[in-house]
Structure 1
Amino acid sequence: MFRIRLPLRRALALGLPMAWGAVAIGYKLTCPLAQQDGTVARVATSAVFFAVGTGLVLHVRRALLRELRQVRRVAGAAQNVLLRPPPARVDGLGTAAFQISADGTARVGGDLYDVIATEHGVRAVMGDVRGHGLAALGTVAAVLGSFREAVHDEPDLGRVLRRLDRALARHLRERARAEHPSAGREPESPVAEEFVTLVLLEIGRDGTLHALNCGHPWPYRLTGTRVEPLARTDPLPPLGPFPLPRDLPVLHPPRLRPEEMLFLYTDGAEDARDSRGRFFPLRATLAGAVHIDPLTPQVLLGAVLRALRRHTAGRPTDDIALLVLRNERTRDHCTSSGARGTAREPTAHPHSTTHLEHNGT
């Protein structure tokens, strides 16, 4: 059926311009008025050709708008597959996430995130691919695909990072070969101008934290009314330009206590500017939002999104991804689960956080 409709659509798309052209040619060749040299004849001829030209322009415009809407639908579907909204609760952690693309045409960006419950703990990633739009989509797919497989296979967070590094290098080599098929040899440096910043987190059932950071902003920890970076150490270089060191410095921040939150973000949030060129005060916005009662991950995310849109007038210049994690386990549960090991808690039913935009954010 699709094969029949496609040629029919193409024929209809060409039919109207041909009809307009036939009208113009028929008028010029057969109409007596078109053969005259008087003012009236010239005005009439000009009007006919103006009408034909206007019709052609409007037809092309409608065709381009249809194609643009189709591209947006396809890109949006691809984005939804890659950046699956996490459930509202993942193994005792409340979650909320949102992504804003700077590419208003394609509605896709180069940011990535995910939260997955594993037998090793809840593992989360927040990353930023160089560039944005459709060009970054393949790299996002390669990194996220590797993460979703490695978090279940690898007991050590450092080995998860090495899997992501290998997946990125492999993807870039394949892309370089596809872009330069005539080279006939392996590209010398396919990652010279490509990189991915990301932060990896592992949160145990007792709130124990493990973290690895490759060139990404550290998440903020929200404790009561305090907002502090999760760590202050320098991160590793981004994935891509440089090989990972032999010994990976896995950080062990203080455990995430009940009701504490982690706010993960990409640098597009702090780098967002207003009309005067001022940066978005993310930390101050979080410090103001912690006084909201009740403060859930969705409420916190909504408050930051509203502030961001006011600051940028709804026109961000870079992709922005936000992810909130909240420890919703009770103190007694955290203590007992830490003694039992990694026993799994049933995950709550999924709830898409993409509905935040429809709730006033």
Structure 2
Amino acid sequence: MNRTWAWRPLPPVAGETFGGFVRRLFVLVLPGIWVAAILAWELAGTGHAQPLQLLAAAPAIACAGTGRRECVVLGGLCALIALVPLGAAGQDTAPATRLGTCAAILVVVAASYLTAGRRARLLRELARTRDVAEAAQRLVLRPLPERIGGIRVAAGHLSAGEGALIGGDLYDAVPTRYGLRVVIGDVRGHGLPAVGTVSAMLGCFREAAHDEPELSGVLRCLDRALARHLAGRGGPAPEEGAGAEDAGMAEEFVTVLLLQVAQGGEYTALNCGHPWPYRFSSGTAEPVAQDEPLPPLGLFPLPDRLHPLSGRLAGREGLLLYTDGAEDARDAHGAFFPLHAELLACLSGAAPPPLAPRALVAAVRDRIVRHAGGRLTDDVALLALAEDRPHVPA
């Protein structure tokens, strides 16, 4: 089963594991090193009992780096050390000074203990919130099976928002009696409003894909659903068939590409402001069309007559669908990611036959991440499908 990469962190390599172990070991021994250095300074007799006042920092260091138990144990040990005269300078130190140092250490221990407890509760609440958010976002942008009928499918998503699993991109593939129907789109903007629009569009597509016999009917359902969704956020719902522009929401739009693949490999596509997909096979790739697409949904009403693009996939051929975030990914010098036919032909030629869409999507994803250095300015969605069934001549 393919998964969305933003949902699963990459496993650490051996170097990272060793580095993490070294950092944890350093955090564990740092409080002890701090206490030992202060004791050595005091026993040397050059600090005149002033270094013992620095023992109050040891419990705070232990609490921040290890845990509450280590904070209490080390704090109690430091409080006892502060009461014991050490060295020649310690013998001349007044008992009130040692008691004051001990009291200061105990105050730091209590404050650090309470702070660590509050931090632990906040971390547990954050973990539960992330689990709930992940479950909700998985329902919106659900993982796709590796095979739907005789078509192999792979999809993935990279979110530009920190800590977000999904953003303004959407995709889905639904098997119907009319064939496999696929949608990929890009909602203007980011954040919760974009996620709400993604949810509305995907919910409408999953219903209309089964009910509408024509792909144009599915697109019109999406247009009406977007208009109602935007009107519900900012005003009364528009009339049936009215575009979002009439509802006063001209600044909100969604680019959508609809694709239908029939049993024999014939496909049809409708494009509203979205990049055209690439057609690929082992070692070759080319765009399926160079025509100007329709305007994005939400800007203008759909025309009365829609003319879908038609084609046919031969055996082992496939299509790569993507959002414009893939082309907009920039490196440190501001150069855009070179997503073109030559690159896809090279990547598809490197994969062993039969070409797996999952391998191609993973290769493109890795190239985008390396090109952008892990810093994306826009969400990226990739979806690839390939014929994997024998075609019987008509």
TM-score tier (shorter): 0.7 to 0.9
Deviations 1:133-178 (A, max 9, x none): 4332211111111111111111111111000011111111222259
Deviations 1:300-339 (A, max 9, x none): 12211222222223332221111111011223x3x24xxx
Matched, 1:306 2:356: no
Name the CA distance, whole Å, in 2 between partners of 1:64 and 1:326.
46
More displaced stretch, 291-300 vs 210-219: 291-300
Q: 8 Å contact 1:122–1:204 — kept in the other structure?
A: yes
AA aligned opposite 2:312: R
The equivalent residue for 1:192 is: 250
The structure 2 residue matched to 1:264, chosen from 288, 307, 321, is 321
3-state DSSP class of the match of 1:191?
coil
The equivalent residue for 2:157 is: 99
3-state DSSP class of the match of 1:277?
coil
Which runs of structure 1 show a deviation greater than 6 angstroms over 4 or more consecutive aligned residues?
Answer: 38-46
The structure 2 residue matched to 1:79, chosen from 137, 143, 153, is 137
AA aligned opposite 2:380: I
Report the Cα offset of residue 204 of structure 1: 1.5
The equivalent residue for 1:232 is: 290
- What TM-score does the superposition give when structure 2 sets the normalisation length? 0.67
Matched, 1:274 2:328: no
Q: 8 Å contact 2:255–2:273 — kept in the other structure?
A: yes
The equivalent residue for 1:162 is: 220
Structure 1 unaligned blocks of 5 or more: 1-37, 179-186, 337-361
Name the CA distance, whole Å, in 2 between partners of 1:190 and 1:59.
50
Matched, 1:219 2:281: no
AA aligned opposite 1:205: Q
Name the CA distance, whole Å, in 2 between partners of 1:230 and 1:177.
39
Name the CA distance, whole Å, in 1 between partners of 2:249 and 2:129.
28
The structure 2 residue matched to 1:293, chosen from 352, 372, 393, is 352
- For residues 101-140 of structure 1, the aligned pairs below 5 Å read 101-140=159-198
Q: 8 Å contact 1:76–1:108 — kept in the other structure?
A: no
Report the Cα offset of residue 55 of structure 1: 4.6
The equivalent residue for 2:210 is: 152
Q: 1:57 to 1:177 in 2, by over 3 A?
A: farther
Deviations 1:59-93 (A, max 9, x none): 44434433332232122112211222222222211
Q: 1:282 to 1:65 in 2, by over 3 A?
A: farther
Report the Cα offset of residue 217 of structure 1: 0.7
Matched, 1:206 2:252: no
Q: 1:314 to 1:250 in 2, by over 3 A?
A: same
Name the CA distance, whole Å, in 2 between partners of 1:326 and 1:94.
5
The equivalent residue for 2:81 is: none
Name the CA distance, whole Å, in 2 between partners of 1:260 and 1:161.
26
The equivalent residue for 1:65 is: 123
Q: 1:188 to 1:62 in 2, by over 3 A?
A: farther
Name the CA distance, whole Å, in 1 between partners of 2:100 and 2:252.
60
Name the CA distance, whole Å, in 1 between partners of 2:334 and 2:111.
44
3-state DSSP class of the match of 1:290?
helix
Q: 1:62 to 1:278 in 2, by over 3 A?
A: farther
Name the CA distance, whole Å, in 2 between partners of 1:130 and 1:308.
21
* Amino-acid identity (%): 51
AA aligned opposite 2:389: R
3-state DSSP class of the match of 1:159?
helix
- What TM-score does the superposition give when structure 1 sets the normalisation length? 0.73
The equivalent residue for 2:380 is: 320
Deviations 1:211-253 (A, max 9, x none): 111111111111442221111111111111221122223222x
3-state DSSP class of the match of 1:128?
strand
Structure 2 unaligned blocks of 5 or more: 1-95, 237-244
Name the CA distance, whole Å, in 1 between partners of 2:112 and 2:189.
38
Name the CA distance, whole Å, in 2 between partners of 1:53 and 1:236.
63
Q: How much is the aligned-residue C-alpha RMSD, in angstroms? A: 2.6
- For residues 15-34 of structure 1, the aligned pairs below 5 Å read none
Report the Cα offset of residue 52 of structure 1: 5.4
Report the Cα offset of residue 274 of structure 1: 1.7
The equivalent residue for 2:312 is: 255
AA aligned opposite 1:308: I
